[in-house]
C-alpha cells in the first residue's frame, strides 16, 4: 500500500496533496478502533483499542503496518475498551513518542477501567497480559487533557474536541493539518438520552469525515418506546418468578439503565420486594466520577442534581460477585461484560439459561464472534465454559440502548456537514456495505458531490486534497473593494480559532495584539581610496544622480555632523561617509550603510556593498601578502602559503568588518563588530558568535574569500 501511495504522490508531483486514512483496526469490523491519518508530513492516531472477541496480542490493532515512531499524536475519543485499552501497550512497549490526548472524564475513567482490565487479563488465562499497572500509570502520566470546544496546536496539527454524546467525556475530534480538516466521530449519538446530551455539530466544514457505521441502515426505535418495552419485559419476567440478566458495559449504558430502573421501581411499589443488583465494582467506583462531571451531562440531569443526586440509587444494591449472591426468588442483575464472554454475566447466564421463566436482555451492540451475538440467533443449546452443551430455554431479547448513531442520524449529520469525502469504519462488512450504498443513493438524489469509502483493516484510503485559504480583508485594505482577479498585498494573520485575516501592517495594533517593528541593518567598511571614486562607482551602478530606474537615484547631502556626505540609494539604503580622523593613519575613512531589513532593501544593500568593496581598494599591505603567497605556492612551501592565506583573510575581514587580529599559533582570527566578538577558524570554516545574524554575514564573507583564493581551473579553456 505504501508503494501505491508513492505512485500517487509521484503522479501528482505534490506530496502534500494526498491524505492517507489507514485503519489498523475497525475496518469492516467492530472492535480495536485505531485509525491512522497521514498528511503534510504529519501522522495522527485516532483511538487505540482492543477487539472484544480476541485475547492478548491477537486483540491489538495491526501496529506493525506503520512506524509508530512517526506518529505525532494519539487522540482517544472515549473510555470503552475497544477505543482505549491498547494505549498503555503502545506507550510502554513500542517506539511511539507522540503526545496522547483525551478529555478530563475520559482520562479519569480510563485509569480506573484499565486497572480492572490488567487484573482480568492476568486472571483470564492470557499469561502476563498486554501490559502491567506500571505501564498504565506511565501512560496516564504522559496523557494530556483537552476540553470540549478547545483547540490545541500540536506543532502543525490543530485539534478541536467536540461532544460526541455516547458516554460521559466522549469526544469527536476535528484534525486540521495544513488547511485540510478531518472530523473523526468515534462512537457518537445525535439523540440525547437520560443523562447524555446529543453530539455537537461542528461549525467548520470538514473535507473528510471518518464516521462509525455500527448500525448500518438500521433505525432505532424512539427512546420512550424502547424504555417502555424494556421495563415491561423485566416486569413480566419477575412477575412470573423469573430472574433477569442485563449484560452491560460497566460504564456508559449501565448508568443509563440504572436511571431507568430506579425511576420505574419508584413508580411501582409492587416491585419494591424485587431486588436490583449492580454487579460491577468498576461501575460502583466510577459513580464518583459521574457525580464530579455533572456539568458535562444533559439539562435533565443538571436540574435533577439541584434537588438530589440522581446517581444515589434507592432501589439498587451492589453485588460483589456471583459467589456472594443468594440466588433465591425473582431479581434483576446488571453484570459485566456485555458480550457474555466471561465474568459474572457469563456465570449467571450459565446458571439461569435452562429456566424458561428467566430472561436475558442484550441492551448493547452484540459483536460478531461473541456469545451475546450467538444467542440472538435463537439456538436451542449453548456451550458452557467447561465445554458442555446445555439447553437454552430462557427468553432472549435485544432492546438496544446503545448510544450509536443509526441511519437517520448519520445521514442528517453528513447532510449538515457537507463533506466531499466520507470514510466508514467501526461496522461489520455487510451492514457497512448497505450503509455505503444508502448514503450514495441519498447523496445522488440530492445532487450532493460525495465519495464514500469502506476500507478493510490495513487497507489505505488515499484522498486528493487541494488546499484552500479564505481570508477576510479588513482595515484600510478593506475600505475599497479590489477588482475581480486583482491581487491584494498585505499581511495574512491567522487567529487561534482558525480564521484568517489580511490587513495592512499599520493595522496590526487595531485588529490584533501584534505590533509592527523594524530591523535596522548596519554595515561599516573602511575605504582605501578617496571617497570620490566610491561615490562615482555608486552613481554609475545606480544610474547616476538623476537615475529613474527601479533602484531610484543617488542624492548627496551634507552629513548631520558636518563631516563627509550622506548618499541616499533608492528608497532603501543610506550611505554615510565619515572622513578619517586626524592622526588616525587611515587614508580613506569609512563608509557606513544602513537599511531596514526586507527582501527589496536587502537586495539593494547587497549590491551597494559589492560596489563599495570593489571601489574601496585593497587594504594596506595586502598586495605584499599576495606576492608572498604566490612565491610560497611556486616553491611548494605549503606552510608559508597557509600563513600568507591567513594574513590575506585577516586583512579582508578587517576591511569589511573592522579591526581584526590573528593568532598564528592557533590559526584563529578575532574580529569585534559593534561590541560583538567573533572568533573565526578560516581553515575549518567555523564561525563563533552569539549574534546569529552577524555570524551568518561573516560565514558568507568567509565562503567568498575561500572561493577567491582557490586556483582557477583552466583545463576547459
Residue 427 DSSP label: S
177-180, Cβ contacts within 8 angstroms, sequence gap of 24 or more = 177/39, 177/40, 177/42, 177/44, 178/16, 178/39, 178/40, 178/42, 178/467, 179/467, 179/468, 179/469, 180/19, 180/39, 180/40, 180/207, 180/208, 180/465, 180/467
What are the backbone angles phi and psi of residue 211, rounded to the nearest 5°?
A: -125, 145
Give which of 388, 392, 397 is closest to 356, Cα–Cα.
Answer: 392
Angle between helices 104-123 and 133-141 (to 10 degrees): 170
Catalytic residue at 691? no
* Rounded-to-integer distance, Cα 537 and Cα 548, Å: 17
Give which of 275, 304, 276 is closest to 290, Cα–Cα.
Answer: 304
Give which of 376, 371, 324, 326 is closest to 349, Cα–Cα.
Answer: 371
Other CB atoms within 10 A of residue 46 CB: 27
Give which of 426, 408, 407, 424 is closest to 367, Cα–Cα.
Answer: 426
| Alpha-carbon Rg for the chain in angstroms | 38
Q: End-to-end CA distance of the chain, in Å? A: 52
Select which of 220, 404, 426, 465 is catalytic: 404
Calculated CA dihedral for residues 567, 573, 574, 579, nearest 10 degrees: -80
- Across the strands, what pairs with 676? 673
Give which of 452, 441, 445 is closest to 419, Cα–Cα.
Answer: 452
Angle (nearest 5°) at CA 342 between 339 and 343: 110
Q: In what order do the strands lie in the sheet with 18-25?
A: 143-145, 99-102, 73-75, 42-46, 34-39, 18-25, 461-464
Positions marked active-site: 404
Amino acid at each position: 500500500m505504501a508503494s501505491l501511495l508513492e505512485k500517487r504522490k509521484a503522479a501528482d508531483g505534490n506530496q502534500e496533496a494526498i491524505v492517507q486514512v489507514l485503519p489498523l483496526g475497525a475496518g469492516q469490523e467492530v472492535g480495536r478502533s485505531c485509525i491512522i491519518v497521514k498528511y503534510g508530513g504529519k501522522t495522527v492516531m485516532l483511538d487505540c483499542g482492543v477487539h472484544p472477541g480476541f485475547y492478548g496480542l491477537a486483540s491489538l490493532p495491526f501496529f506493525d503496518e506503520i512506524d509508530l515512531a512517526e506518529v505525532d499524536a494519539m487522540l482517544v475519543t472515549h473510555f470503552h475498551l475497544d477505543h482505549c485499552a491498547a494505549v498503555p501497550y503502545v506507550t510502554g512497549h513500542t517506539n511511539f513518542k507522540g503526545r496522547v490526548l483525551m478529555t478530563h472524564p475520559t482520562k479519569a475513567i480510563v485509569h480506573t477501567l484499565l486497572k480492572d482490565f490488567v487484573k482480568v487479563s492476568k486472571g483470564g488465562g492470557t499469561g502476563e497480559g498486554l501490559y502491567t499497572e506500571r505501564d498504565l500509570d506511565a501512560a496516564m502520566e504522559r496523557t494530556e487533557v483537552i476540553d470540549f470546544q478547545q483547540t490545541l496546536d500540536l506543532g502543525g496539527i490543530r485539534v478541536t474536541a467536540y461532544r460526541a454524546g455516547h458516554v460521559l467525556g466522549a469526544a469527536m475530534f476535528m484534525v486540521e493539518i495544513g488547511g485540510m480538516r478531518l472530523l473523526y466521530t468515534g462512537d457518537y449519538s445525535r439523540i440525547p438520552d437520560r443523562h447524555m446530551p446529543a453530539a455537537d455539530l461542528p461549525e467548520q466544514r470538514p473535507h473528510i469525515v471518518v464516521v462509525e457505521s455500527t448500525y448500518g441502515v438500521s433505525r432505532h426505535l424512539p427512546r420512550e418506546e424502547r424504555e417502555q418495552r424494556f421495563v415491561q419485559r423485566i416486569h413480566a419476567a419477575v412477575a412470573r418468578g423469573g430472574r433477569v440478566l442485563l449484560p452491560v458495559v460497566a460504564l456508559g449504558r449501565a448508568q443509563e439503565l440504572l436511571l431507568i430502573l430506579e425511576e420505574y421501581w419508584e413508580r411501582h411499589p409492587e416491585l419494591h420486594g424485587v431486588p436490583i443488583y449492580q454487579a460491577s465494582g468498576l461501575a460502583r467506583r466510577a459513580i464518583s466520577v459521574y457525580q464530579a462531571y455533572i456539568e458535562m451531562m444533559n439539562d435533565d440531569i443538571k436540574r435533577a442534581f439541584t434537588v438530589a443526586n440522581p446517581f444515589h440509587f434507592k432501589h439498587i444494591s451492589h453485588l460483589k460477585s456471583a459467589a456472594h449472591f443468594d440466588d433465591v426468588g425473582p431479581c434483576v442483575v446488571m453484570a459485566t461484560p456485555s458480550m457474555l464472554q466471561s465474568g459474572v454475566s457469563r456465570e449467571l447466564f450459565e446458571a439461569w439459561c435452562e429456566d424458561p421463566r428467566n430472561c436475558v436482555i442484550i441492551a448493547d451492540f452484540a459483536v460478531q464472534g461473541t456469545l451475546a451475538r450467538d444467542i440472538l440467533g435463537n439456538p436451542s443449546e449453548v456451550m458452557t465454559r467447561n465445554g458442555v452443551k446445555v439447553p437454552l430455554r430462557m427468553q432472549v431479547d435485544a432492546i438496544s440502548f446503545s448510544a450509536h448513531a443509526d441511519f437517520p442520524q448519520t445521514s442528517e449529520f453528513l447532510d449538515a456537514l457537507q463533506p466531499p469525502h466520507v470514510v466508514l469504519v467501526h461496522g461489520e462488512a455487510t451492514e457497512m456495505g448497505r450503509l455505503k450504498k444508502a448514503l450514495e443513493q441519498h447523496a445522488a438524489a440530492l445532487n450532493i458531490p460525495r465519495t464514500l469509502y469502506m476500507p478493510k483493516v490495513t487497507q489505505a484510503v488515499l484522498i486528493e486534497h487541494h488546499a484552500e485559504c479564505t481570508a477576510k480583508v479588513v482595515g484600510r485594505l478593506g475600505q475599497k473593494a479590489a477588482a475581480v482577479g486583482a491581487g491584494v498585498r498585505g499581511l495574512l494573520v491567522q487567529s487561534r480559532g482558525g480564521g484568517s485575516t489580511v490587513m495592512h501592517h499599520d493595522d496590526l495594533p487595531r485588529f490584533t495584539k501584534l505590533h509592527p517593528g523594524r530591523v535596522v541593518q548596519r554595515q561599516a567598511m573602511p575605504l582605501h581610496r578617496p571617497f570620490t571614486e566610491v561615490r562615482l562607482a555608486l552613481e554609475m551602478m545606480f544610474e547616476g544622480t538623476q537615475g529613474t530606474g527601479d533602484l531610484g537615484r543617488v542624492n548627496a547631502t551634507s552629513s548631520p555632523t558636518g563631516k563627509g556626505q550622506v548618499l541616499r540609494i533608492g528608497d532603501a539604503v543610506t550611505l554615510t561617509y565619515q572622513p578619517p580622523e586626524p592622526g588616525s593613519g587611515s587614508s580613506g575613512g569609512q563608509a557606513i550603510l544602513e537599511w531596514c531589513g526586507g527582501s527589496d532593501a536587502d537586495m539593494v544593500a547587497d549590491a551597494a556593498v559589492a560596489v563599495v568593496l570593489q571601489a574601496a581598494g585593497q587594504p594596506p599591505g595586502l598586495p605584499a601578502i599576495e606576492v608572498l603567497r604566490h612565491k610560497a605556492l611556486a616553491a611548494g612551501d605549503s606552510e608559508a602559503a597557509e600563513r600568507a592565506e591567513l594574513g590575506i583573510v585577516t586583512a579582508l575581514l578587517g576591511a569589511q568588518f573592522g579591526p581584526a587580529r590573528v593568532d598564528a599559533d592557533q590559526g584563529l582570527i578575532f574580529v569585534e563588530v559593534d561590541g560583538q566578538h567573533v572568533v573565526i577558524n578560516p581553515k575549518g570554516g567555523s564561525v563563533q558568535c552569539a549574534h546569529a545574524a552577524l555570524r551568518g554575514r561573516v560565514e558568507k564573507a568567509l565562503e567568498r574569500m575561500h572561493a577567491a583564493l582557490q586556483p582557477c581551473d583552466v583545463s576547459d579553456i
